[in-house]
Amino acid sequence: MEGLQRRLRTGAGWLFYVTVLMGMALLLPRSIFDPESTDFLLLLGAVGIWRYSMGAIHYVRGLLFLYLVYPYYRRKAARLGDSADPSQVFLMVTSFRIDALTTAEVYRSVIREAIDCGYKATIVCSIVELSDEMLVKGLWSKMNPPERVRLDFVRIAGTGKRDGLAHGFRAISRHLPDDDAVVAVVDGDTVLTPGVVRKTMPYFKLFDNLGGLTTNEFCEVHGSYVMSEWHKLRFAQRHINMCSMALSKRVLTLTGRMSVFRANVVTNASFINDVENDYLEHWRLGRFKFLTGDDKSSWYSLMRLGYDTFYVPDAAINTVEHPPEKSFIKASRKLMFRWYGNNLRQNSRALGLGSNRLGWFTSIVLLDQRVAMWTSLLGPTVAIVASIKYGFAYLMIYLLWIGLTRLVLTLLLLASGHEIGPAYPLILYYNQIAGALVKVYVFFRLDQQSWTRQKTKLNRDLASFQRWFNTWSSRAMTFSASSVFVAALMWVV
């Protein structure tokens, strides 16, 4: 009954969305649907053709990998048989300030995977609170794993996830893993699905230069309907983009939710230092340590050390999402600020590795990330200026164009295997505008960082003049760049 009600609500939502689009179309003059007219609807979209081209390339590459290339790799990996088995598997879980129910669900899934995978396994628990240790011990006693599965606790101070990862990696180093050992790094809010460990292991034997890989994500959101749909849309888009980058073995992030590494990578002192003490030397803001973005640091470290990265689309995990605010606008803004800040901080130095190391396509993608924040604002800015200068109909045409194109983009996501909902077209456009504004803001403030769960911020202990200079130079550069952007578009229109 609940499933039927959900399908009826979804169907009603799609019907309402299409009805609104049809109503907007009826209000506009017929000339915008005439290809020979200067008001033809697609002429407005031509402004953003080159921006859509990157999305189209990612989509085609993603489907090519998902339905042709990856099944070929999977068959090759299956033919390896037992020879692809690792000598030992480490499952390292980092937990801090996560509710007990989620923590129990996560560790139960990890212990179950350690038992069911059939490998010699060690679960490394990098924790802060004594209550988490007692909870894990209770689950361990209840599930009674065999002797080949061991448990190792690493108690740390609550100084951040990076320290938790570094202490966990050093604990794994003390086990002296051999070259065939593998380490799965699992976040404290990630529930492993059955078989996910065995699905990821063979690729380290299939690809000799593979340093790390990451997995497909689904989510359970403890929040509003819009917040839930926003997260699910993000994971559907992530799936396509990950598949696209996996075609070049250059997946751009090794998500902390669950990524798998060679043991000789995570025990490498240089890699541990990159994760624990990563920093950026900025020409204006000075040198500052990275507080968040450990997944970007691990990716950058692998690229710098000469490894490849990969994505396993049929190895899935379920994440439990706790929005940092009750308000969707506030919560999404906080999360965007953290995600896009991590992305731009990585971007500013990743391009320095050069196309010989990254490959031409990856270099173009990283370069496009810098440009996309402005091109995403191109359409709405032109539409607003044109409506002020020539008439309100131009804004209506633009809104109809947005409604139609986002509907098409949503339907294309069906190929990802993730569910879609009637709110997706509107959320897509919200992500475009709000995301671009957040990117522009954070681009000039790369030193500003904060966790959403731990409520901690980076404290640099700068002198008063340096703080004043950083604040006002960031404001001046944001204002100048925005003014040049709007002035240039007004001149063009």
pLDDT value at position 460?
Answer: 62
The answer for residues whose C-beta is within 8 angstroms of residue 236's C-beta and 6 or more apart is 413, 416, 418, 419, 420
Task: Please give the Cα distance from 434 to 352 (Å, whole number).
Answer: 28
- Whether 363 is covered by a domain: the verdict is no
Residue-level pLDDT at 21? 76
Asked if residue 57 belongs to a domain, the reply is no
> How far apart are the C-alpha atoms of 407 and 26, rounded to whole Å?
18
On whether both 71 and 209 belong to a single domain, the answer is yes
pLDDT of residue 416: 86
Confidence at residue 93, expressed as pLDDT on a 0 to 100 scale: 94
Whether residue 172 contacts residue 183, with contact meaning beta carbons closer than 8 Å, is answered with: yes
**Are residue 44 and residue 99 in the same domain, yes or no?**
no
Lateral strand order in the sheet of 182-187: 149-155, 121-127, 89-94, 182-187, 258-262, 210-221, 308-321, 190-192
Query: pTM of whole model > 0.95?
Result: no
| Shared domain check, 210 and 92 | yes
430 domain-assigned: yes
Paired sense of beta strands 190-192 and 308-321, if any: antiparallel
| Domains contained in the chain, number | 2
For 10-148, list the strands marked E by DSSP: 89-94, 121-127
How is 69-105 classified by DSSP, letter by letter? IHHHHHHHHHHHGGGG--S-EEEEEE-SS--HHHHHH
pLDDT of residue 29: 65
Same domain, 296 and 198: yes
Judge if 333 and 397 occupy the same domain: no
Residue 111: Cβ within 10 Å count: 23
Q: Is residue 135 part of a domain?
A: yes
Residues of the chain with pLDDT under 50: 40, 42-44, 46
From the list 285, 339, 335, 295, the residue with the least C-alpha distance to 447 is 285
Q: Specify the pLDDT at position 453.
A: 60
b/e burial code for range 430-461 (CB count within 10 A of at least 16 → b): bbbebbbbbbbbbbbbbbbbbbbeeeeeeeee
Q: Which residues make beta-bridge pairs with 259?
A: 185, 214
Of 330, 358, 386, which residue is a domain's last? Answer: 358
How open is the CA angle 185-174-183, to the nearest 5 degrees? 20
- Model confidence pLDDT, tens digit, residues 13-55: 777 787 877 777 766 666 655 555 555 454 445 456 667 788 8
**pLDDT tens-digit readout, 131-181:** 889 999 999 999 999 999 999 999 888 777 888 899 999 999 999 999 999
Domain identity same for 18 and 90: no
| Same domain, residue pair 242 and 128 | yes
The residue type of 44 is L
- Sign, CA torsion 267/272/273/278: positive
CATH value at residue 109: 3.90.550.10
Q: For residue 60, is it within any domain?
A: no
Tell me, yes or no, whether 167 and 206 share the same domain.
yes
Same domain for 411 and 447, yes or no, is yes
Is residue 341 located within the same domain as residue 385? no
127 and 254 assigned to the same domain: yes
Residue 474 domain-assigned (yes or no): yes
Same domain, 25 and 76: no
Give the residue numbers spanning the domain of 478: 1-52+368-492
Model pLDDT, residue 34? 56
Query: What pLDDT is attached to residue 43?
Result: 47
276-289 burial: b if 16+ Cβ within 10 Å, else e: bebebeeeebeebe
**Phi and psi of 375, rounded to 5°?**
-65, -30
Tell me what pLDDT residue 86 has: 96
